[in-house]
Structures are given as structure tokens and as C-alpha cells.
Copies of this chain bind each other. A is one copy, B any other.
């Protein structure tokens, strides 16, 4: 990937805690079902998996929210379960039930078969990454906004790999944790190596920041989180290339339900921490004490409100982060945007962010 100038690098600057003229914003799951144009492309693809596996269509949906809204970053359209899928577990999406694996990991023999997927098996992700980078180049020859790559955390991937699908209490993986910690360690070790390779390849293909989604870290007991989720993410952060195209490639770590563990998370050396909507930003800033940037954390349900209430809630978030006056805040939701969000609510959010601070040049 040839380095091109960035027309808007506020997101990357905020991740490095450098001053920005306004608070940069992107939204988790910003390319998603709440957008009618996304629904149309998905229909064309035939299924969610076909959409994620066709670089051309993944590029199309990645750019859709950028064409609508003044967002400061693009995020690769993909799914966290591509890695276990490439490991041969047989990913399916069942209507109303979410993701399912045909061959979940349950015993010694299953674990023995696990390996780091070849780069070829995930080639469609890297192709999409490169295609999105090309598509992001604007009429002036500069890249409009940076591109974020991402992966599920090893613990979160293992939750799906071992349960075989979504769960509320995760009894199967937790039974393995308490009965066969050796086995779970092996699952997490190979998954960690797979994620390192996956994110490294995304960076090589053009991802300019990377995010770890630890969706299920918050179901762990307080003293199990560090051992079974955070420790593996720390290994990943340490192993990733720190620079590409002459620029720092910052990392973001998001544990849903991890607001109580920020003191541990910041010690991983990650560049930014994503905060969920239940976490108090004022307390979080005190804990983190300027050692990394913070991303978040509007309740996604605020987007069901009218524009006055949205403006009020957005202002509360900005005030709590003292943003953009204190550098190091990226505005986001505290969780992925709901499929039931009215697209106009996103305009209201972004307008409220830019009130009182200038928009992108």
C-alpha cells in the first residue's frame, strides 16, 4: 500500500492524545442494518457472510456511512468470527439466533486440530482492506479518513468457538475454564497467534489503526478477566507492528462490561480504551490519568430519542471527557449502533459534536 496524504487525520491524532480542532467521531457498527443502502447491498450479496466475503461489496458498505455522515474514520466491514471460520469451524448465521459453528471446540481432539489459519484462507479480508484504502482516496488525491482494522479478542472468539454460538451465561467455556484450564489455554494460545497474524496482515494491507473487540470479557469473574482475556490481548498488542507507511498504527481495546478493570487495561500499553455506556468517563479519566486515549461512550439507546435529547446527551459526553479541550477523546457509542436506529439520529449526534467546535476542513 502506497502512503497517501490523509485529508483528515484527527482520529489518528486523538488516538495519540494530540490536540484536534474538534472531537473526532466514528460509530461502532456504523456500516449496518440501520442504513437502507446497507440493507440493499446485503440483499444483493444474498447473505451477511457473502457480503463480508466479497471485497467489492464489503468496500461498498464500508463507505456508505462516510458518504452520508461527517465521520472521521472508516472501519473495515467484516465479522469477528472470520478467524474461527478460517480455522474450519463452519460458520453459519441463523436468522434470529445469530452466529453458529457447525464444529464447536469441546475436547482434546478438537483442540489438537486448531491451527493459525493460512493468509490465503482470510485473503478476502486483506483484499477488502486494500480495496477500501483505494476507495477512500478523494477527488483531491488524498485519503478522506483513516481505515480501522479489527479482530475479536481471543476470549471472545473462544466463547463462540466453544459454546458453538451466542450464549447468556457461557456455561460450556466456563466449565472448560474451571475444569480444563490447560485445554482452554491451548485454545486461547492458538487464537492469540491467529489474531496477531490476522491484524498484522490487515495492517500490511492498509489498516491504519486496529481495534480488539472483547465483547464477552465482561462475563468473566473479576479475577479471571486478567488471566483469561486481558493477558492474551496484551500479548497481541505487544506483538503487532507499531508502525506502517511511516506512521504509528495505534491500537484500541474495548471490553464490554470492563469499566471496573481500566487500571489493568491501561497497563497493557494500548493506545486507547473503548468505554461502554455504563462506565463513568470522569472516573475513567481519573483512573487512566492521561496514559492512553479514551473512546466512547454514548448509550446507543440515546439514538432513539428526539434531536433535542440527543444534543443534550452528546453534550454531557463531551463535557465529561472535557473534549476536545483535553486531547485524547474519540467520540463513539458505548456499544454497536442498533439496527433500529433512525438514520437521522446519527446526523443529530454528529451535528451536536460539531456545535461549538469547527467541523472537518
A residues lining the B interface (CB < 8 Å)? 169-171, 174-175, 177-179, 218-225, 257, 259-260, 277-281, 283, 299-302, 304-306, 309, 313, 316, 334, 338, 340
User: How far does the Cβ of A221 sit from chain B's closest Cβ, in whole Å?
Assistant: 4
CB contact between A304 and one of B171, B279, B281, B300 (< 8 Å): that residue: B171
Chain B residues positioned under 8 Å from A301 (CB to CB): 169-171, 174-175, 177-178, 221
Determine how many copies of this chain the complex contains: 2
- In the complex, the chain B residue whose C-beta lies closest to that of A283 is B260
Inter-subunit contact A223/B280 (CB<8 Å): yes
- In the complex, the chain B residue whose C-beta lies closest to that of A280 is B222
Complex Cα–Cα for A178 and B299 (A):
11
CB contact between A175 and one of B224, B280, B304 (< 8 Å): that residue: B304
User: How far does the Cβ of A95 sit from chain B's closest Cβ, in whole Å?
Assistant: 16
Complex Cα–Cα for A177 and B278 (A):
16
Q: Contacts A171-B338, A260-B260 known; A220 to B305 CB distance under 8 Å?
A: no
Inter-subunit contact B175/A299 (CB<8 Å): no
Complex Cα–Cα for A148 and B131 (A):
62
Chain B residues positioned under 8 Å from A281 (CB to CB): 222
User: How far does the Cβ of A279 sit from chain B's closest Cβ, in whole Å?
Assistant: 6
Inter-subunit contact B169/A277 (CB<8 Å): no
Chain B residues positioned under 8 Å from A338 (CB to CB): 169, 171
Complex Cα–Cα for A355 and B328 (A):
50
Inter-subunit contact A305/B179 (CB<8 Å): yes
Chain B residues positioned under 8 Å from A174 (CB to CB): 299, 301, 304
Inter-subunit contact A223/B175 (CB<8 Å): no
User: How far does the Cβ of A290 sit from chain B's closest Cβ, in whole Å?
Assistant: 21
Inter-subunit contact B340/A222 (CB<8 Å): no
Q: List 28 A-B contacts (CB under 8 A).
A: A169-B300, A169-B301, A170-B301, A171-B304, A171-B338, A171-B340, A175-B305, A178-B305, A178-B306, A178-B313, A179-B304, A179-B305, A179-B309, A218-B278, A220-B278, A221-B299, A222-B259, A222-B278, A222-B280, A222-B281, A223-B280, A223-B316, A224-B299, A225-B278, A257-B257, A257-B278, A260-B280, A260-B283
User: How far does the Cβ of A127 sit from chain B's closest Cβ, in whole Å?
Assistant: 33
Query: Which of A220, A222, A299, A313 counts the most B-chain CB atoms under 10 A from its CB?
Result: A222
- In the complex, the chain B residue whose C-beta lies closest to that of A303 is B178
CB contact between A221 and one of B223, B277, B309 (< 8 Å): that residue: B277
